[in-house]
Amino acid sequence: MTLSDKLYKWFDERLKLSELLPPIVKHPAPENVTSNPLYCLGGTAFLCFLILVLTGIFLAMYYKPTPVEAYKSVERIMTEVPMGSLIRSIHHWAANIMIAAVMLHMLRIYFMGAYKKPRELNWVVGISLLLITTTFGFSGYLLPWDQLAFWATKIGTGIAGSIPVMGIYISLILVGGNDIGPETLTRFYALHVLILPATVAILLVLHFLMVRLQGISGRL
Amino acid sequence: MALKDVERHKIDEPEHEPVRVRGLPFFPHFLLREVVVMCLIAGSILLLASLFPASLLKPADPFDTPSPIYPEWYFLYVFGFLKFWIWNIGPIEAKTIGVTLPMVVWYGLLFLVPFIDRNPSSDIKKRKVAVALGIIAVIGVLYFTYFSIVHH
């Protein structure tokens, strides 16, 4: 008996691996899925999310969410921190590709009619993920606190603030005052590194569980 | 190719007629392909990040409005529609409509797609209306994105 067999047996006796694993491991991926590259879009978005979490953790180690320090800390990431410029650029590109991939994934589902019974709820979770992914991008855009960040956020919060009834509240919650300032920055930071990642993670678990439960459309 | 025939039983059918699904077993064959695709995507991101690094402009200055200013590319269509819609409808201001349609109504419709489209067929030839509406929506979003860049 090799060491790996012994280890497997140890965990198997405690976690019932031999009952849990085969349905996952031996489950066949349907042929129409493995032969059509359009089915990669959702996975691409998920991979981008993983890359974003990883690079985001590194950026959070150096970033300081105050108007005085924010710009300087990003400048330091770009010039002094080893590989900092690369990590931030990967974060930037993965974010844009993730948003594009989520949108294209939605278009595939729409045009293939894959949202029909019994997958209606998974479509709703998917649209929530699209909405959250764009909010994610929007909240991250302000953090470098440069001219582009500041004025793009000015437009964005202005547009959100013009929505009837809810607008003033959305704007007040996001901006945290009358104008974009220190409160806005910490709010966007909390949103970007705590609230949104947790929400996306929960919704992704639901999304994948439902794919598994309901099967992939057009498989039979 | 490690294709595998798997027999599946439909429980609700009395004669238990097997349904054949041709496909790759998830582990290791399908996962290996996924890993290859993931490496390609991760490599592309690395290449883009090295060739076109993320920018950092001048520090934010609330008293210096740059021109032109744009929101993120995925919100350009909202920005474009807001500029496109200049007509008041009765007591409702043009600006309110310009924001509500592309944000609230648009996302509301997206959420409700499976409940609006009750056509059970997923054959593209049998859902001409849904496909036509989808194409119109895509062209609309692209047009308003273009509009926001031209009319800044």
- Record: fold of A39-214: Cytochrome Bc1 Complex; Chain C (1.20.810)
Q: What angle do CA A104, A57, A67 make, to 5 degrees?
A: 95
> Is A179's pLDDT higher than 80?
yes
Size of interface A-B (CB pairs under 8 A): 198
Query: CB–CB of B117 and A119 under 8 A?
Result: no
* DSSP labels, A139-193: HHHHTT-BHHHHHHHHHHHHHHHTSTTTHHHHHHHHHSSSSSSHHHHHHHHHIII
Tell whether B142 and B78 lie within a shared domain.
Answer: yes
Q: What pLDDT score does B22 carry?
A: 66
Q: Is residue B66 part of a domain?
A: no
Over range A35-41, report the average pLDDT.
86
* Cβ-nearest to A146 among B56, B78, B79: B56
Which of A24, A97, A106 is opposite residue B45, by nearest beta carbon? A97
CA dist list (Å): B130 to A125, B110, B125: 20, 12, 10
Checking if the pLDDT of A128 tops 80, the result is yes
- The answer to the question of residue B38 being in a domain is yes
- Considering the domain architecture, whether residues B81 and B44 belong to the same structural domain is answered as no
Q: What is the dihedral sign for C-alpha A210, A103, A128, B133?
A: negative
Q: What is the pLDDT of residue B18?
A: 52
**Given CB atoms, is A29 within the 8 Å cutoff of chain B?**
yes
Q: What is the pLDDT of residue A147?
A: 93
Residue B61 forms part of a structural domain: no
CA A147, A148, A153, A159: dihedral to nearest 10 degrees? 120
Interchain pair B24, A120: CB under 8 A: no
Most A CBs within 10 A among B9, B35, B47, B74, hence the mutation to make, goes to B74
CB A51 to CB B42 under 8 A? yes
Q: Strands B18-25 and B4-9, how do they pair?
A: antiparallel
What digits encode the pLDDT tens for the residues A74-94?
999 999 999 999 999 999 999
* % residues pLDDT > 90 (chain A): 76
Query: Which residues in B lie closer than 8 A to residue A138 (C-beta atoms)?
Result: 72, 75
B64 part of a folded domain: no
Per-residue pLDDT of chain B (152 residues; tens, 9 = 90+): 344 444 444 444 444 445 556 677 777 888 888 899 999 999 999 999 999 999 999 999 989 988 888 889 999 999 999 999 999 988 888 989 999 999 999 999 999 999 999 998 888 888 999 999 999 999 999 999 999 999 87
Which of A9-13, A19-23, A65-69, B9-13 is least confident?
B9-13
Contact A163 B100 (CB under 8 A): yes
Asked if residue B60 belongs to a domain, the reply is no
Between A2 and A125, the higher pLDDT residue: A125
Tell me, yes or no, whether B30 and B80 share the same domain: no
- Average pLDDT score over chain A: 92
CA dihedral A193, A198, A200, A205 (to 10 degrees): 150
Rounded to the nearest angstrom, the minimum Cα separation between A176 and chain B is: 16
Does residue B67 lie within any of the structural domains?
Answer: no
Please tell me whether residues B47 and B79 are part of one structural domain: no
Q: Is the Cβ–Cβ distance between A50 and A95 less than 8 Å?
A: no
In a domain, B91, yes or no: yes
Ordered by start, the domain boundaries in chain A are: 39-214
pLDDT band at A120 (very low <50, low <70, confident <90, very high): very high
User: How many domains does chain B divide into?
Assistant: 2
Rounded CA-CA distance B59/A140 in Å is: 16
Q: Lowest-confidence range among A35-44, A186-195, B141-150?
A: A35-44
B103 and A159 within 8 Å at the Cβ level: the answer is yes
pLDDT of residue B11: 46
| CB-based contacts of B124, cutoff 8 Å, min separation 6 | A111, A112, A113, B131
> Do residue B33 and residue B87 come from a single domain?
no
Which residues from A are below 8 Å from B24, CB to CB? Answer: 28-29, 31, 34
- What pLDDT, on the 0 to 100 scale, is given for residue A38? 87
Taking the Cβ of residue A16 and every Cβ of chain B, the question of whether any pair is shorter than 8 Å is answered with no
Quickly tell me which residue has 């603030």 as its tokens. Answer: A161
pLDDT of residue B1: 39
Structural domain including B110 reads 73-150
One domain for residues B77 and B46: no
B146 in A contact zone (CB under 8 Å): no
Does residue B134 lie within any of the structural domains?
Answer: yes
A34, B24: Cβ pair inside 8 Å? yes
* Chain A residues close to B102, C-beta within 8 Å: none
